[in-house]
Structure 1
Amino acid sequence: MVDVIIVLVAYALGNFSTSFIVGKLMANIDIRQCGSGNAGSTNVLRTLGKKAAAFTLLGDSIKGVAAVLIATYFGNAENIELITGIAVVLGHNYPILLKFKGGKGIATTIGVAVITNYIVALICIGIGLIVLIKYKYVSLASLVAIILFAIILSIHSIEYFLFGAILCLLAVYRHKDNIQRLLNGTERKIGEKLNSL
């Protein structure tokens, strides 16, 4: 029963959308009605600037860290940390408090990954940053990092393989429109303003 509560708490934590809160506090806007409509740090960056985006990235990452730590200290089931990590990302992507219209889960996944396996996470983040610096596409950098994370975890154990694979599939699905734009050559690079702004 305790483990079920922990997973539900993790999902609830994911529901607290940092971008939504930052948008309301800093500009009295619903970030989901601005720019790309995504409740994530990249849309916040284009809409409200670097400071707001930094707060969003940090806040969403902390959710992932907090959820896994709660599971680590209070959970009983084997691999409850991994299940909880998935739950908090699901809460971010599909928050019931925001009618299931959330972000793409990358920042929260970063928090989960760092606290779950910081060595692999830092390697993947580093490679993702290299991709970002070289190509200027946040979506491409995010996808490269999360796919690499899943691949590396696959050599750890079947549980970690499933954990990494689920996080990867969630990220790829949420980025399906970005992937199409990347293939079409129409994806916006970091720093580009949306035409509607």
Structure 2
Amino acid sequence: MFPQTRQEGNVAGGHIAGRDVNITTHTAPHNYIDQLYESLKHEVNNSTPQEFIEQLQHFMASPPSQLSRSLADKLSDTNRQDIVETAELAKERAAKKIMRFQTSSAAQEIFAHILGELHTKYVQHVRPLIEAEATRLEIDAAFEEKVVAPVAQSMRPSTLGLSADVVHAFLFFLAGSCHVRWD
């Protein structure tokens, strides 16, 4: 049996409790991508033409060590002829989106971040499967589950109109510039 505590006539400017008062506050940390989205909001009306940032230029150019093959050739060489048309259209959509926001340094930073995340996840999760000669089904599943889905889930609503479909387009953009391949 618990001893009874009587509290009468108390005047308090805060909590009155017979024991502990637990208060938990969760604050989301401000990460790099959140800061970029904030910058993007402020840049929308104050854009001036400028060059592409270095990180984005890296993904827009093919690595010098890579043989120059078209996206269609890369897909056909790995028995993915069924997605050539879709991939070519998606790659072009990604390029147009990048060009549309070329005057916004925050947008360029966000695009470079997305492309960097896609490339890093590809190198970590898909490239080893390709080297191990995994099946198309295994490779495509890894692309979706380990590369595209996590990056798409990190997107925030913004004037950039980013979605899972756009993330797929950026993946084909990377493939077109030889940063991602299936063989």
Structure 1 length normalisation: TM-score? 0.30
Q: Which is helix-richer, 1 or 2?
A: 1
Greater relative CO, 1 or 2 (CA 8 Å, sep 6+):
2
